[in-house]
Structure 1
Amino acid sequence: MDTLNKTQENFADEGMPVGEPERPDIIEQSNPSESASLPQTEATSNVDESTSASVTGPVTREALQSAAQSLIEEINSKRKRDTTLLTDFKKNMEVQISNSASMVEQAMYETYEQNGRMMQEKLQLLFATLDRIAKLETELDDFKHALGLLYKDVHLDTCS
């Protein structure tokens, strides 16, 4: 609050209305006595150039055209940079997807091999069991045939 009072006192000393906040249209703009000679790269630099031109003299059509052309070139440059960035991003994503797909494929084949070994063992047990069943069926058929012959012999002997 003390700062506000001091600011109001300063305004009163300078002849400015007291109680109003500091506004750009009330404050007098300072004109720099020298200008920079290095090319400016930010978009805001073009605004600074146009405002300094309006303070020092009238803005010409050529100056506006030049400023517009530099803005267009800057926009095109940024678009080209964005396109390059997007292309690089796509390439990186393709590489990452390819690596991920290779890892999934490798894991899939390792799983196939592991499951194949387990299935091979179980299939060997199954076929061994089926072979034993076939032998037992053959022995059972032989036993039934022998029992049938024995029955006939016993039955014929008792009948005669």
Structure 2
Amino acid sequence: MKWILLTLGLCVSAGATAGQYDDFLQQWIDAPERHQKVFWFTGKHKQAAIRILGHPYPRLAVPYWQQGSRTVWILQEKGKDEYFIAGIVIENGRVITTRILEFKEPRGWEIMDPGYLRQYRGIELTDDQRLSRTIDGITGATLSVRGLKRLVRLALYLHRQVIRP
């Protein structure tokens, strides 16, 4: 019974995420295919997330959307004190776009700048689960920059898991 309630609670909270960020999703997934899927962190995926993030992901699962070889991920990471939420779009193993959807930290908001976010376009995940090129940091936003880089790495890893070559 607890498992059913947990699953229902997760789906309801994930559904709220979908509605809250629907304008972002509309830009990247066509309406007929905009069905939310859920990726569960179990077994090797849970361990991979810990290696990438340096800690367990704060939820048991994450919502994602898929259209062909494109996936859209809405992920959260903790800055210094609060969580921020990023939308990451990946196609054919490369980042198409990254956007900060919610940011509540008093510092580090500079990661929302489009010029900073452009650095992620075209980036891939290497075989050792690193980003394929260096991302420039922002003075005063170190924790936010590191957090976003971890989320992009996680999204690229998750993309590989749902899109098999």
TM-score scaled by structure 2?
0.19
Give 1 or 2 for the bigger CA radius of gyration: 1
Higher RCO, Cα 8 Å, sep 6+: 2
Structure that is richer in helix per residue: 1
TM-score scaled by structure 1?
0.20
Structure that is richer in strand per residue: 2
